[in-house]
Amino acid sequence: MIVSEAPPAPFEIPPIVTYAIPAFVLLILAEMIYIRATGRGRYEARDSAGSLLMGFGNQIMGLLLGGVAVAGYYLVYHFRLATIPWAWWSLTLCFFGEDLAYYWFHRIAHERRWFWASHVIHHTSQHYNLTTALRQTWTGVLSLSWIFWLPLVWIGFPPEMVLMFSAISLVYQFWIHTETIGRMGPFEWVFNTPSHHRVHHATNPKYLDANYAGVLIIWDRLFGTFVAEDANDKPRYGVISNLGTFNPFRVATHEWIGIARDVAGARSLREALGYMFGPPGWSPDGSRKTSASIKAAWAARQAAPVAAE
């Protein structure tokens, strides 16, 4: 049993994600009807079933293992640098801090295969609609993805406050998974939007490894990972090697099994570590494709002189 040392919240924190589920359902049905009527966007029943089943599995895993991450938060909080109270200024700081932690979690989840093995699930649909938002990992707790938020509780933000903003971020990110909303003007300068996130889900070389934001796009602009959607380069969704199955168990585990096979065949510790913690696609001889090599090949093709007619 966890005995909280944190100052109590001055209000009852509602189960934010649970309360949002009816809205998720209604918005998905509304998006389906809109797409049926206008053709702006795509749905495929089996793909949506796959996404929703991945979300269902994520819910089950959260019930079974979510307590491990929460216990980790409280354990680190025990060794905090300060005790930060619930106040308007701490809530403001925690909002920005949580969003920054999300940015780094998300960026590293794309740049290091260990975390990618868990996060890749979210990217395995070749569709981009509101059901894609619910295509979530089953192995996030086991892969220790939650460690990226530990600095916040170590500084002294109450774990409940951090968890509250994580839930708000998750709910915020639901609506940006759609092709039905175009560009959004000045709102896009600061906030993550459907356009920004379409770029993030795209496999077009120029869009790879971009727009990791949760709520605020400012982090991508600050850290040099922002790419704007180009009307002349329509996003193609999925992963570099798209899956050939809708089976949720294969979807959830394929990259982990890939890591296990590669590590089993590694000829040295360096190779094993490279397969586990190198960029996705890393191989000792460079024979596989990484985002960097795909982008470099694409850039070289762009720079190549056009043959005279």
The residues that touch another protein, with contacts defined as CB under 8 A, are 18, 21, 25, 28-29, 32-33, 36, 42-49, 52-53, 55-56, 59-60, 63, 126-127, 131, 241-247, 250-251, 253-255, 257-258, 261, 301
**What's the min distance (Å) between Cβ of 134 and another protein?**
9
Q: Which is nearer to another protein, 16 or 21 (CB)?
A: 21
204: helix, coil or strand?
coil
**H helix runs in 112-192, sequence order:** 113-119, 130-133, 150-155, 159-174, 187-190
Distance CA 142, CA 139 (A): 5
End-to-end CA distance of the chain: 75
Q: Mention every residue, 6+ apart, whose C-beta is less than 8 A from residue 22.
A: none
SS3 content of the chain, % helix, strand, coil (to 5): 60, 0, 40
Distance CA 42, CA 129 (A): 7
Q: Which is nearer to another protein, 90 or 126 (CB)?
A: 126
Q: Which is nearer to another protein, 78 or 261 (CB)?
A: 261
Q: Which is nearer to another protein, 223 or 249 (CB)?
A: 249
Q: Which is nearer to another protein, 2 or 30 (CB)?
A: 30
**What's the min distance (Å) between Cβ of 110 and another protein?**
18
Q: Which is nearer to another protein, 38 or 82 (CB)?
A: 38
**DSSP characters for 26-85?**
HHHHHHHHHHHHH--S---HHHHHHHHHHHHHHHHHHHHHHHHHHHHHHHHHHT-S----
**What's the min distance (Å) between Cβ of 32 and another protein?**
6
**What's the min distance (Å) between Cβ of 231 and another protein?**
20
**What's the min distance (Å) between Cβ of 144 and another protein?**
23
**What's the min distance (Å) between Cβ of 145 and another protein?**
20
